[in-house]
Structure 1
């Protein structure tokens, strides 16, 4: 029996309007979430972006992990907005993220 601890998602970009973009809010499309009601389950869940960095004695694995939190849904197609303590780099657009299934309210 395997337990599923995360869902995969893709960073679409920053929240934006026609003239302004808001780099402190990232849009994430979660796999299997197609409606706004489906996205309500993921509100408050943790988002993890792992990226490769240069290996150092302080970081022998060579990965940097950026944690964020799903804050609200965006639109009607199941896209969610996630906030990170430091803005995601532009290189992260199109990158895969893990949306953890904790903390859970069930």
Structure 2
């Protein structure tokens, strides 16, 4: 019996950056298998979930894909709470469904 896959694993690679400034409210995510901007744009509007543990409890941070970043298939996401720099290199989950425009 097979179960339907509802999410893809993504790696939080960095915050969006300029030459002199870091934008911590935008997170850059890399998903295995997405290699072009055209493929990445199909995921705009999808939900993203970040899980982290603090004091023995698991917390969920919800977000959504806002745009593609560059030409190599990197996705730009916005979360309810900004992802901390300690999460660079950690997994987040890209859901395979669209969400309404989030007001954060």
TM, length-normalised to structure 1? 0.87
2:63 corresponds to which residue?
Answer: 68
- Per-residue deviation, 1:18: 1.4
**Per-residue deviation at 1:50?**
0.6
Q: Which structure has the larger Rg?
A: 1
Report the structure, 1 or 2, having the larger strand content.
Answer: 2
The number of equivalent residue pairs is 98
CA RMSD of aligned residues (A): 1.2
Secondary structure of the equivalent of 2:20? coil
Aligned residue number for residue 31 of structure 1? 32
Gaps of at least 5 residues in structure 2 are 100-104
Note if 1:84 corresponds to 2:79. yes
1:86 shift after superposition: 1.7
TM-score scaled by structure 2?
A: 0.89
| Alignment map for 1:31-70 (pairs within 5 Å) | 31-55=32-56, 62-70=57-65
